[in-house]
Structure 1
Amino acid sequence: MELKTYLREQIDWELPFPPEEYAERRKKVRSAMSDAGVDLLLLCRLPDINWLTGYDMIWNHLRNSTTLVVRADSDDTLFFDAAAHTTIVSLVPEIRDAVIFDHDPMAGAGDFDIIADELAGRGLTDGTIGLQFWGWGPAPTVIEALAGKLKGKGAKVVDASLLVETQRIYKSPREMKVVRQAAAATDTALEAARTSMKPGMTETAIEAVLVASLMEQGCNYPAIHTMVASGVRSGTHHSPPTHRKVRDGDLVHIDVCGSLHRYHVNTCRTFSIGKADNRWLDVMERASGSIDAIIENVKLGDPLPRVDEIANEHIRKVGLQDDAWWIGGYPLGISFPPDWTGAHWIHWNEEVFGPTPEQLTIKPGLVFNYENQFDIWEGWPGGTGCNFIETFLVTDDGPELLSRLPRTILSNGD
């Protein structure tokens, strides 16, 4: 089946980025491929595909064979997708050459024969091909099956799971503009949620206000479900909203990402219905200094784990280390469900990368969140925990805080 490129003449909405942005990204990836000795790169992770083309879709099942092929020796790309996505692909100007599978998208294994045969027919299976064995995408058995087909055509197959993710960690000026817009939308949505809260309101109703505000501002669903937890649930961290009705005196935990063009900005605040107990306010006041310490002490060129060292030193200094569930963070950017985290974290992720650190550094374009999460089971009125999360954007002047919301317990009556 062929692309319906005539549909592109009917695009009457603003696309996230101009063609030159995608050309610059492809150039970065091709350079990284050459450095890694990879001749051909087959991408099946949606964040990477989106970053290089603008392609966006919502059904990334475990047998999905949507694939973008990038060449080290040419700016030409090749795209594979299911017949059901013909219109989606046809409306992506950066996709110029595509093979559309003319069968049920769940057919699975037959797609790999088509991919291998097409690449071999174009003389592209003689060198080293990088595949993505790690990350959210097709199941490992699916990637192994594709690897087997390519090896059968004479290719040497290597793991290039994180080659593109590493390139897209540092944002371009155009991307930084989108990140700032997402941050502003998130602040506005959290403020809308705060002013709407009242006794008797369910957690799901609070989420409805939050999500409606984000979408009215042009955002879409984030890669992780918005977290709303109140009262005894306020320390649950990773739980969705329930039908529990908030009560006077409750703490309300909200952890959300504004997602604009799939770029995520993470902000979390603890709210209260009425005035919070002073002990909660004291914890937040003492913890807040960890963010100030990051801004004051983290410098351009520092290894990313320096952020952890500074923040945790502050938490120890103010005596909160025993109550801390987690003091840490991770880079943010383009994400698709079910997760907005990637392979890189502020601390060295030995489970993914092995024992030898090749640290990311603090330089312009880096976006990362930082969390202060506390569990307190002392019977204090209102809840079982309090927390905040900030997102930083590194500029030429160093780390910049994106949220303008105070890092304290925010009362619905303020």
Structure 2
Amino acid sequence: MNASFVKQGQEAAFSKEELASRVEAARRSLSAKNIDVMIVTGPENIFYLTGQQTPGYYTFQALVLPVEGEPRFVVRRLESQNCIANTYLENLEVYDDGIDPLDLLVGVVAKTGGANQRVAIDKRGWFLPITAFEKLQEKLGVLADGAGIVESLRAVKSPSEVEKISRAASYVDAGMAAGLAAIREGASENDLVAAMMESAIRAGSEYVGMEPLVSSGRRTGVPHGTWKRRKIQGGEPVFLEMAACHDRYHAVLMRSAWMGQPNDVARRMMDACLEGLDAALATLKPGNTCEQVHQAVQAVIDKAGYTENYRKRSGYSVGISFAPDWGEWQVASLYDGIKRELVPGMVFHIPPALRIYGDFTVGVSETVVVTENGNRVLGKTARDLAIY
């Protein structure tokens, strides 16, 4: 397609004004930390600030965000038209294959401010190789740690962001309904995943940050195991967890099923998970902390006698995601020691799950937004253990 047909912002997920307000908020945070310019490399943070989204983030890209002056985006030439379509950025620094983008980035940063400017970079980013960081530090001097600056802004979603997550939740409901309907003796794990992904995509989902987690039988007792052609047998557990996406915003859902009657331990564990989720929802409200939500779940698990089976956080922020994850692990978690206060607009996936390792897993989850008066569950799928 001729480049002249690509219009600035033609596929932008947000208005120019909303993106500009995010940039200004980030600049205020930089100024408060005495940072003159920040190099942003994480695809989630780049998307939040600019709207740029592409599956081609495996090649180097970086947003140079100064406290004063216009942002500049270092991008591979093949992605430049994508960037024009998705953003309102006017200053693209394009590099060709065979050119070291770090040399270009160093020059852009040098042009952005004075010789004594303080430069920060998001050091926790997944897509900042050690060699790249070392080269940048060699060329630019000591780099301040900008990790958490943009993430802290992402924690509280705007109404338009919540709407996108709500739409993603409707896609998850469609996918999960199809997966549960596909369960039968002799069906394969692949059959379930095919039904889940097809239905979610037909409902509206785009590509997601992580594949569904679907397993059956004793395979369910291995955390984060996923489909592997196995056929479901009578008397076995089935575990399903999936995400769906709208404009890079994700919602997630976990459900459990059993072919025939589950054993007593599985029933008690499932009851504890359901009660734990209820406890989380009762505690997830403005003024409480992330830690308190986890402790409410943990108290239920401890009372049921399954402390050793629950060595994990009780939830995590969801919103913008690119592979390899569907959650916002850098933004917020519901766990001990995390005293961040809950405020309206925060969105969490809360997945209480219990397992006998190597035997079975049961669990249930919801994607939930904090509201002025409490919270709102975004999904509509029944929570009980599905019996077949």
After TM superposition, the score normalised by the length of structure 1 is 0.86
Q: Which amino acid aligns with 1:321?
A: T
Q: Give distance in 1, aligned partners of 2:88 and 2:249.
A: 19
Question: 2:55 maps to which residue?
Answer: 58
Q: Give distance in 1, aligned partners of 2:313 and 2:111.
A: 52
Question: 1:46 maps to which residue?
Answer: 43
Deviation at 1:277, TM superposition (A): 4.1
Residue segments in structure 1 that go unaligned for 5+ positions in a row: 350-356
Report if aligned partners of 1:223, 1:338 keep a CA contact under 8 Å in 2.
Answer: yes
Question: 1:397 maps to which residue?
Answer: 373
Instruction: Map residues 200-279 of structure 1 onto 2, 5 A cutoff.
Output: 200-277=186-263, 279=265
Report if aligned partners of 1:5, 1:91 keep a CA contact under 8 Å in 2.
Answer: no
- Write the deviation string for residues 290-328 of structure 1: whole angstroms up to 9, x where unpaired: 222222234412221111111111222233324435452
The match for 1:313 among 288, 296, 299 is: 299
Question: 1:85 maps to which residue?
Answer: 79
Q: Give distance in 1, aligned partners of 2:135 and 2:4.
A: 32
Q: Which amino acid aligns with 2:216?
A: S
- Write the deviation string for residues 41-86 of structure 1: whole angstroms up to 9, x where unpaired: 111100000111111111333xx43011112124x21111112212
Structure 2 counterpart SS, 1:337: coil
The match for 2:333 among 341, 345, 359 is: 345
Structure 2 counterpart SS, 1:309: helix
Q: 1:10 to 1:146 in 2, by over 3 A?
A: closer
Q: Which amino acid aligns with 1:126?
A: N
User: Structure 1 stretches (4+) deviating beyond 4 angstroms?
Assistant: 3-6
Q: Give distance in 2, aligned partners of 1:6 and 1:296.
A: 52
Query: Identity of paired residues, percent?
Result: 24
Q: Give distance in 1, aligned partners of 2:269 and 2:66.
A: 53
Is residue 146 from structure 1 mapped to residue 144 from structure 2 by the alignment? no
- Write the deviation string for residues 137-168 of structure 1: whole angstroms up to 9, x where unpaired: 121221221222223xxxx5211022111111
Q: Which amino acid aligns with 1:264?
A: H
Residue segments in structure 2 that go unaligned for 5+ positions in a row: none
Report if aligned partners of 2:42, 2:125 keep a CA contact under 8 Å in 1.
Answer: yes
Is residue 376 from structure 1 mapped to residue 352 from structure 2 by the alignment? no
Structure 2 counterpart SS, 1:175: helix
Report the RMSD for the aligned CA atoms in angstroms: 2.3
Question: 2:144 maps to which residue?
Answer: 158
Q: Give distance in 1, aligned partners of 2:96 and 2:282.
A: 57
Instruction: Map residues 88-103 of structure 1 onto 2, 5 A cutoff.
Output: 88-103=82-97
Q: Give distance in 2, aligned partners of 1:274 and 1:87.
A: 54
Q: Give distance in 2, aligned partners of 1:23 and 1:274.
A: 55
Tell me the number of residue pairs that the alignment of Structure 1 and Structure 2 aligns. 385
Question: 2:383 maps to which residue?
Answer: 407
Q: Give distance in 1, aligned partners of 2:31 and 2:277.
A: 39
Stretch deviating more after TM superposition (279-288 or 28-37): 279-288
Q: Give distance in 1, aligned partners of 2:14 and 2:6.
A: 19
Is residue 68 from structure 1 mapped to residue 68 from structure 2 by the alignment? no
